Amino acid sequence: SQTIHQWPATLVQPVGSPLSLECTVEGTSNPNLYWYRQAAGRGLQLLFYSVGIGQISSEVPQNLSASRPQDRQFILSSKKLLLSDSGFYLCAWSRRGAEKLFFGSGTQLSVL
Amino acid sequence: AQRVTQPEKLLSVFKGAPVELKCNYSYSGSPELFWYVQYSRQRLQLLLRHISRESIKGFTADLNKGETSFHLKKPFAQEEDSAMYYCALASGGSYIPTFGRGTSLIVHP
């Protein structure tokens, strides 16, 4: 069966520090991968998605970047965190050509 | 551009009462509509999709193209239905769902 792992579960970082959130998928090949941010009252905002290794599409301009160094690994990064980067980040995957998403457990990021 | 609107941030009902979570969308083509649910301390997960035409945990949702709506309904709410519900749309050719802002459903005993 397929599983998705996301870590860490919680993270507290000072403003200006770097960020690296990691997401891995097991039990499937060539998944589509996604990073969403979940903010209270604002719903789920798509940040990045990837259809293959090294292929990243950004949905919104921001302080964050994403990379896909391996088929089932998706990384969300920042060189310098801003206060506004605080939020709940969700990784998700789907099969090719399918809209159903499978979500990770999320990372609560607090930038202080 | 596709858009999903969930007008209610919070919906509070008593156990046994009917519940309807509203979802409206804007898209000119043929959409694929979904409802996702996130229970407390659990992952966000798919509840149902309109093409399946199924009832999950007593919930149903009918796509109304005339009103561009996909409201989620349950005739008798249960306490365990308390959760955050997200409506999502995926347009033809794009497999990437667009989500609404979510509605928090609270079912009181």
CB contact under 8 A, B99 and A105: no
- The pair of three-digit structure tokens given for residue B32, joined into one six-digit string: 């694929």
Write out pLDDT tens, residues B42-61: 999 999 998 887 888 999 99
Residue of chain A nearest B34, judged by CA positions: A100
Mean pLDDT of chain B: 92
Q: Are strands B3-5 and B24-26 parallel, antiparallel or unpaired?
A: antiparallel
DSSP state of B52: G
Q: Which of A43, A49, A96 sits opposite B96 (nearest CB)?
A: A49
Reported as a single tens digit per residue, the pLDDT across A75-96 is 999 999 999 999 999 999 999 8
Does residue A60 register a pLDDT over 90?
no
**pLDDT reported for residue A96:** 82
Give the pLDDT band of residue B88 (cuts 50, 70, 90).
very high
* pLDDT for res B93: 65
Q: How confident is the model at residue B94 (pLDDT cuts 50, 70, 90)?
A: low
Give yes or no for a cis peptide into A8 (omega within 30° of 0).
Answer: yes
Q: Does B31 reach chain A within 8 Å, measured CB to CB?
A: no
Give yes or no for residue A25 having a pLDDT over 80. Answer: yes
Percent of chain B whose pLDDT exceeds 90: 71
3-state secondary structure chain A: CCEEEEECCEEEECCCCCEEEEEEEECCCCCEEEEEEEECCCEEEEEEEEEECCEEEECCCCCCEEEEEECCEEEEEECCCCHHHCEEEEEEEECCCCCCCEECCCEEEEEC
In the prediction, which pLDDT does A1 show?
82
pLDDT at B87: 96
Asked if B12 reaches chain A (Cβ–Cβ under 8 Å), the answer is no
Give the pLDDT score at B92.
65
Burial class (CB in 10 A: 0-12, 13-18, 19+), A75: buried
A53 close contact with B: CB closer than 8 A: no
Alpha-carbon distance of A63 to A79, in angstroms, equals 8
B92: amino acid identity, one letter: G
